[in-house]
Amino acid sequence: MSDYGGFYRDRPVLITGGLGFIGSNLARHLADLGADVLLVDSLTPDSGGNLFNIAGLEGRVRVNVADVRQASTMNYLVRDREVIFNLAGQVSHIDSMRDPETDLDINCRSQLILLEACRRHNSAAKVVYASTRQIYGRPDRLPVDESHLVRPTDINGINKAAGEQYHLVYNNVFGVRACSLRLTNVYGPRQLIRHSRQGFIGWFIRLALDAGEIQIFGDGSQVRDFVYVDDAARAFLLAGATEEVNGLALNVGGHEHIAHRDLVETLIEIAGTGSVRYVPWPEEKKRIDIGSFITDSTRFRAATGWQSTMNLREGLSQTLAFYRDHRGHYVDDSETPT
């Protein structure tokens, strides 16, 4: 289903984590399609939720500042929503290792609360869950398709894998239509760049923006693929409108892959600022690193017609331009960056 425009017109949708990076960009697409958009976000510090992310959408979306772990709240908010994009979660691998109980609470218990709210109060809803390629762990082969073993290397990967399985069980057993998108490295405007704990790509962009030194661990030979946030948003829109993906967990990755060292060289070239230094792996990061990872998105493309279209150079250029224009809404210079 490559044309979803008519599907979302006037359709009631809910985005959990709606003030975050992917959620807010998805909200913009939905508002342009004429959907009835409700955003739920707890605005937890350091999570990426930011009211400026929806600047210009005033009157076109509604916002409820709430925690998805509150069952009574979610029981109410899901009642009239036809499509639910479930993007709320804790995404930091390092934070999950330092505080595994909080990661469990956010990435597992909250998923059950949302799904139970749907089962009991709106079983006709369609739920699209944001999973991650991290659940595969260190790959046995490249590119990685969905037949690869799920073998996480960190607490966050374990809990995200559990969250995904909850959605598939509710689809298969309770009849709450659900699917899961295993996202690879998403980047673009409105991403959290205040600290380095939510992925390296946003942090590299911040350092290049500020003419800082980008540190590459090891020799920088590890390869990754990247998805521009608008391409990721279109993937969610297609999944929400496509019945054939119900009950499935599907990869969503970029069409280009690049080594870290080449990525940084390209980023510095585009930014015109920044420098690079190669450093030994920090032990806490080396233990959970997965090495090179390239995603095979063939099944999702076949089911929905989705394509990753943004060229990496152009995507990085647009991202840097956005932060140059709006840096003050994403960076607090009084803080010490970490």
Sign of CA dihedral 139, 297, 29, 122: negative
In tens, the pLDDT along 55-73 reads 999 999 999 999 999 999 9
- pLDDT bucket at 337, cuts 50 / 70 / 90: low
∠ CA 132-170-131, nearest 5°, is 5
- Report the predicted TM-score, pTM, of the whole model to 2 decimal places: 0.95
Q: Is the separation of the CB atoms in 274 and 232 below 8 Å?
A: no
What tokens appear for 239 in the block?
């999944």
Please give the average per-residue pLDDT across 216-229, as a whole number.
96
Domain edges within the chain: 5-184+229-252
In tens, the pLDDT along 138-190 reads 999 999 999 999 999 999 999 999 999 999 999 999 999 999 999 999 999 99
Which of 264, 262, 270, 250 minimizes the C-alpha distance to 316?
Answer: 270
State the fold for domain 5-184+229-252. Rossmann fold (3.40.50)
- pLDDT bucket at 47, cuts 50 / 70 / 90: confident
What distances in angstroms separate CA 162 from CA 135, 169, 184, one per listed residue?
9, 10, 18
In tens, the pLDDT along 244-278 reads 999 999 999 999 999 999 999 999 999 999 999 99
